[in-house]
Amino acid sequence: MNAEIIAIGTELLMGQVVNTNASFLSRELSSLGINVYHQIVVGDNPTRLAEVIEAAEQRSDLIILSGGLGPTKDDITKQVLAEHLNKKLILDKSTMEKITMYHESRKRLMTENNRLQAMVIEESTILKNETGLAAGMFLTQNNQFYVLLPGPPSELEPMFIKEVKPLLMKKNQNETYIVSRVMRFFDIGESQLAAELDDLIEHQENPTLATYAGKHEVTLRLTANGSSEEACYLLLDNMEVSIQKRIGSYFYGYGEDNRLENVVADLLKERKLTLTAAESLTGGAFQSQLTSISGASQYFKGGIVTYSNESKKEILGVSKETIKNEGAVSAQCAIEMAQNAREMFNVDLGLSFTGVAGPDKLENQEVGTVWIGLSVKGQPTFAKEYHLGKGRENNRDRSVMSGLELIRRTLLNLPIHQKVFSGKKVE
């Protein structure tokens, strides 16, 4: 089966929005063994949209249309496709109910446009939208498959994973099984990872290997095909052994959505441990990321953001001498922050962040210098130094990830180099 992705939206043609949907869908389709030969972008123009659909039908089995399902006059995707396929638009009751409830609960006026959003192409399978109002659609005509998805990635991505993928796996069923495994790595760059696996990537056949650089992490997708699921798993297991041997020390987990915070959350829950944080340069970003996971109240009771030196001293009780003699960006400050926060919130683990986010130097220290402290009940509190880089956003994000990794390694007794205890370097 081969596929074509058509994104609809004048904002794409104006360059206001980058077409990340096309790369997301391409990656997902490739993992299903479906080849993508064309990605197209057109504006909110019925004639041009109909033309590109027609061209796609000449060459592609599966046509995925993204965008243009919203409530405004610009949104024309389902109307154009319905007319092109000679089908009617009909009201979908459950979407209508959802839209009505949405407006009632917010006490907002419903317009004719909102009602239009509940119209779907007849004879199509409705794809549920968990994160928005526009329903997706899946339909078949003349041995061709059409998928309509909403434009916002926050709606398109879960809809594809939960609704479209299972349907495509059924349609694409032939005698070969395709099984993928995603391995996740932190603290290694994509190019270093590729270099370590150079020969494996060069001679890849079955399983295939695809690296993907996410935000501060790299994922590696292994895709095997075989005559049975078991055969696929065996191929994946064998390949994984070779990979773990080379870069296992950077490996932290499996799975598409299984980010470092999920791995840490699971560890904390498993061991019934509670955690707090005292944040300076990250300004609440660590706690925000931790509580983005539902059920966070099991291991997180609260924490503190001490952005200024005064709040570090007056609220968190960091000693005046430490700030004066060592500075806020120091091992000793990170250690006191972690320990005092742990005692203040009466929990098992206290994590702290202090450093120079940028763009300016602080205490004459380079942008990107960060100390992360960790205090575990019954163990000596320590801190670790990082030199992260230049950009403010990068430094904050990487600090959060590094803090998560520090907890993971500590809980699993994995090596942590260059720990500092109360200003004294050991190891």
**Residues 34-73 close enough to bind a second copy by CB under 8 A:** 35-43, 45, 48, 52, 55, 70-73
Considering only residues 145, 160, 185, 300, which one is a binding residue for a second copy as defined by CB under 8 A?
A: 300
Q: Which is nearer to a second copy, 87 or 210 (CB)?
A: 210
Least distance (Å) between residue 124 CB and a second copy: 22
Count of residues near a second copy by CB under 8 A = 106
**Cβ contacts of residue 346 below 8 Å, gap of 6+?**
none
Contacts of residue 120, Cβ cutoff 8 Å, sequence gap at least 6: 78, 89, 90, 91, 92, 95, 126, 135, 137
Binders in 342-381 for a second copy, by CB under 8 A: 344-345, 357-360, 368
Q: Which stretch binds a second copy (CB under 8 A): 11-19, 168-176, 226-234, 239-247?
A: 11-19
> Which is nearer to a second copy, 139 or 313 (by Cβ)?
313
Cα separation, 334 vs 328, whole angstroms: 8
Segment contacting a second copy by CB under 8 A, of 16-24, 160-168, 326-334, 373-381: 16-24
3-class secondary structure, 345? helix
**Is 173 a binder of a second copy (CB under 8 A)?**
no
Contact yes or no for 117/99 (Cβ under 8 A): yes
Beta carbon of residue 380, minimum distance to a second copy (angstroms, whole number): 25
178-237: which residues touch a second copy (CB under 8 A)? 189-192, 194-195, 201-202, 210-213, 215, 221
DSSP annotation of 136: E
- Tell me the C-alpha distance between 43 and 13, whole Å: 6
- Range in contact with a second copy (rule: CB under 8 A) among 86-94, 139-147, 163-171, 295-303: 295-303
Over the window 244 to 273, marking each residue x when it contacts a second copy by CB under 8 A and - when it does not, the resulting string is ------------------------------
CB atoms under 10 Å from CB of 230, counted, come to: 11
Contact region for a second copy (CB under 8 A) — 105-113, 258-266, 330-338, 404-412? 105-113
E strands of 142-176, at which residues? Answer: 144-149
Q: Are 180 and 223 in contact (CB under 8 A)?
A: yes
Give the binding range for a second copy (CB under 8 A) out of 80-88, 233-241, 257-265, 309-317. Answer: 309-317
State in angstroms the smallest separation of the CB of 191 from a second copy.
Answer: 4
Is 24 a residue that touches a second copy (CB under 8 A)? yes
Among 14-22, 78-86, 232-240, 320-328, the segment contacting a second copy (CB under 8 A): 14-22
Q: Which is nearer to a second copy, 76 or 296 (CB)?
A: 296
Contact, 137 vs 147, CB < 8 A? Answer: yes
Two structure tokens written together for 417: 């180099």
Q: In what order do the strands lie in the sheet with 424-425?
A: 275-279, 349-355, 369-376, 382-387, 419-421, 424-425
> How many Cβ atoms from other residues are within 10 Å of residue 416's Cβ?
14
Least spacing, CB of residue 232 vs a second copy, in Å: 17
Our measurement of the distance from residue 74's CA atom to the centroid of its chain's CA atoms, rounded to an integer in Å, reads: 29
287 binds a second copy (CB under 8 A): yes
C-beta of 167 vs 315, nearer to a second copy: 315
**Crossing angle of helices 260-270 and 392-411, rounded to 10°:** 30
* Rounded Cα distance, 304 and 283, in Å: 9
Among all chains, which residue has been given the structure tokens 């206290």?
A: 350
Q: Does 106 bind a second copy (CB under 8 A)?
A: yes
Q: Which of residues 384-423 bind a second copy (CB under 8 A)?
A: 387, 389, 391-394, 396
Q: What residues between 69 and 98 interact with a second copy by CB under 8 A?
A: 70-74
